[in-house]
Amino acid sequence: MTSADRRAALDRAARLRQLTETDRDAIRLAQDPQFARWLELVTATGGCAHPIHLAGSTTTQDGGTGEILHYYDTRNEPGERLLVRCRNRRATVCTPCSRLHAGDTFHLVRAGLVGGKNVPTDVRERPRLFVTLTAPSFGPVHHITADGKRCHPRRNAGRCEHGRPLSCPVAHGSADPLAGQPLCPDCYDYPAHVLWHAHAGRLWKAFTDNLYNHLAARTGRTRTGLRHTIRISYAKVAEYQRRAAVHVHAVIRLDGATGPDDPPPAWATAEVLAAVVRTAAGAVHLRTTYSRALGEHELRWGSQLHVRPLRAFGRQEGLADDAVAAYVAKYVTKGAADTAIGLDHPVTAPDDIATGRLSAHVRALIRACWRLGGLAEFEPLRLRAWAHTLGYRGHILTKSRAYSTTYTALRAERADRERDTSSSSEELDAITDAHWRYVGSSHSPGAALIAAGIAEDQAKNREIAHAETGRSGRADGTA
């Protein structure tokens, strides 16, 4: 090596030291001989922010002859591993995977409204409602007002026992940090709020059971007889309000006894279902386990109940099916950072509560979870394990078995489309032997930067394709 070469190498090393760790790592990856293949693997995950790393092999053999049709081994891949999507639904954790999850949710909910995905299209003519059930009040809070109306404009309201005013003359906007916060944190019933969240699943179960009971009473049938003629199908999503209390949006549909392939009897109308939803929700009353520290709490749904019909085929009144499916799909991707409600990760120690970027109200709810979780009588509720979700233990979206398709079926359908099926007719009797093991997750700093760029490019491509599709539809009159 000549002196000029040495000086060039030293200059290059000096310039590299001035770069950030992320930039140096990106350069290292780009100089790897297998960079092109690594780029293909990352692109196949859609630029997933936290991919799962797997090592292993797959062998596909002809079931009759034993001939090896396909063989794949990760030993020839960069780092001897295969990258697969993390499938996290939260946009704050992984935007590419959350976008895919939102698409699956849209099709899952929409199939139960208009058919498709093995659901008959005549479900559009069934009695269907979009119902919102809310939590009760645990204490007065500042709320967002419209048209300049004041929050709590009560004259001579006085002050609470803690010396705080019981009125608020301010008109809060959506960006006001006071919106959703208690007028008096000391008066607010934090234990009741947390315990209501912990029992939200039981409250929903009691509500759906009541639907059958109240339908039977309203139509003069026995409960057993009614269940032989009617099936209630639903899909529901949980949403946190500004006051950090969960409310439930649900699509409820009446089917015949065997499900979506069976129409309900003529007397089962949307009007009958709407009336029964109101009485069934109002009749739900549960009680918590008795605690020497807290006593016993009665649990019920809130007084705010919204029941709206869904638009049947060829009609103009009611909510549009696609709008409801899109709303549900959009909400399931929201993380704690989006809503400022709770955390995206479990709380493992009280210090996590103190250091989290939380409002005083949410911090108090998480502390209540941690405190009540230490009581023996509430141990089955696992409040400390679910403190980051304020005690709510349910999935964001759940559905009844007969409502529509499943996430598993949708993902399998997508995988079949993406897989090369040119020789599928020759492999009907194929046998696959797979051996995989987990070897890690996520990206290095430079890899994360490149993956984010891939995800952004794919998102822009989808936007352009969507715009072009809409433009061509308007041109030929189909939009």
Average predicted confidence (pLDDT) for the chain: 87
Task: Give, in order, the Cα–Cα distances in Å from 281 to each of 208, 224, 249.
Answer: 9, 21, 13
What does the pLDDT read at residue 423?
46
What is the phi/psi pair of residue 306, to 5°? -115, 125
Residues 101 and 89: beta-carbon distance below 8 Å: yes
What does the pLDDT read at residue 164?
92
Residue 84, strand partner residues: 52
Low-confidence ranges of the chain (pLDDT < 70): 1, 4-16, 312-318, 335-340, 419-428, 469-479
Give the span between the Cα atoms of 297 and 338, in whole angstroms.
31
Q: pLDDT tens digits for 286-310?
A: 999 999 989 999 999 999 999 998 8
What does the pLDDT read at residue 479?
41
**Half-sphere exposure in the Cβ direction for 73 (13 Å, CA):** 3
Element (H, E) at 113: helix 95-114
What does the pLDDT read at residue 1?
64
DSSP class per residue in 222-235: -HHHHHTT-EEEEE
> What six digits make up the tokens of 127?
């009695």
> What six digits make up the tokens of 291?
């605690």
